[in-house]
Amino acid sequence: MDVVARDGVAKLGAVLRTEQIERVLRWLEAREAENDELVKDLQPEFDVSSDGRRRLGRIRRLFWSDPRFWADIFERSRILELAVDLAGPSATLLFHTAFMKPSSFGSEVTLHQDDGVWPWDLPYSITMWMALTPSKVTNGCVIGYPGSHRNGPIPHVLKDGTVIDKRTGMRPRSWPSIPSSRFNDTPVPYELEPGEAVAWHHYFVHGSAENHSGIDRKGMAVVFTDASRPGFHRPDFDYAGRRMEPLSVAEIKALARG
């Protein structure tokens, strides 16, 4: 897609239908209701309020935890068609993560390039982020800097200022990020209605603010890589040391057909 090549980011319009959004929200609510032992496999991160209330902030590996459910959602929505449009016919699913940002105490996602927080080099990848609730400035929508992908990788640092070198194997205790002082202007907000999506390049600098509103801001991100690019090496293990199972669009369609 030309806009992603030019700006590093593009709004995609509606990707999920109302019925699909409702099914996905129910699936996520079921995970929220599960005990820690069941949800552990989804590598959860929690947000905690000042008075000690705890809610899911992020869960990973959604597709691989329930392939038939997700293959059906992907095939009946515009996800697969857009993946091929944006990453080419060799589009391969690497990650599927829900970002739950609960009302009142949903935490910030600090500025980063997706490439900067991945422990591998992927020659070309795109992230498609889909809103499951209204996603607005008031409840912490995705924000970013159009054009920030043009100069390639930017050094990422940990909270203590340590610069991350992904080639030495990255398992940082805190999430690496790009200091906001690097930018003179304020980031652009990407406000979305439920079902709408925004896609970005792996060098696009983005993040999101805390959610102090009374409305949850739920969204999910899928990352597709172009497995046909020279230099592509299939990643073996994810952040948690778990074996990865990248899936081509054809494999996802086959799963949907059962």
Residue 15 binding ligand AKG, by CB under 6 A:
no
Q: Which residues of 42-70 are buried (b: 16+ CB within 10 A; e: fewer)?
A: bebebbeeeeeeebbbbbbbbbbbebeeb
Complex with ligand AKG: residue 222 or 255, whichever CB lies closer: 222
86 touches 22 (CB < 8 A)? no
Residue 145 binding ligand AKG, by CB under 6 A:
no
Amino acid present at 80: L
What's the closest the beta carbon of residue 197 comes to ligand AKG, in angstroms? 11
Torsion of CA 229, 98, 237, 170, to 10 degrees: 90
d(CA 252, CA 70): 9
Complex with ligand AKG: residue 129 or 203, whichever CB lies closer: 129
What's the closest the beta carbon of residue 114 comes to ligand AKG, in angstroms? 5
3-class DSSP assignment, residue 212: coil
86 touches 128 (CB < 8 A)? yes
What's the closest the beta carbon of residue 171 comes to ligand AKG, in angstroms? 18
Site for ligand AKG in 186-215 (CB under 6 A): 206, 208
Residue selected from 109, 132, 198, 199 as contacting ligand AKG according to rule CB under 6 A: 109
How many residues touch ligand AKG under the rule CB under 6 A: the total is 10
Complex with ligand AKG: residue 58 or 78, whichever CB lies closer: 58
d(CA 149, CA 21): 30
What's the closest the beta carbon of residue 219 comes to ligand AKG, in angstroms? 5
Residue selected from 9, 83, 87, 142 as contacting ligand AKG according to rule CB under 6 A: 142
d(CA 85, CA 200): 13
Pull the structure tokens for residue 232. 């592509």
3-class DSSP assignment, residue 149: coil
Complex with ligand AKG: residue 156 or 255, whichever CB lies closer: 156
What's the closest the beta carbon of residue 99 comes to ligand AKG, in angstroms? 3
DSSP designation for 237:
B
Residue 219 binding ligand AKG, by CB under 6 A:
yes
Residue selected from 99, 124, 224, 232 as contacting ligand AKG according to rule CB under 6 A: 99
Q: Binding marks (x or -) toward ligand AKG, 114..133, rule CB under 6 A?
A: x------------x-x----
Q: Residue with structure tokens 């073996």?
A: 236
58 touches 102 (CB < 8 A)? no
What's the closest the beta carbon of residue 37 comes to ligand AKG, in angstroms? 26
Complex with ligand AKG: residue 204 or 232, whichever CB lies closer: 204
Helix or strand run (H / E) with residue 210: none
Where on the chain is the footprint of ligand AKG (CB under 6 A)? Answer: 99, 109, 114, 127, 129, 142, 206, 208, 219, 221
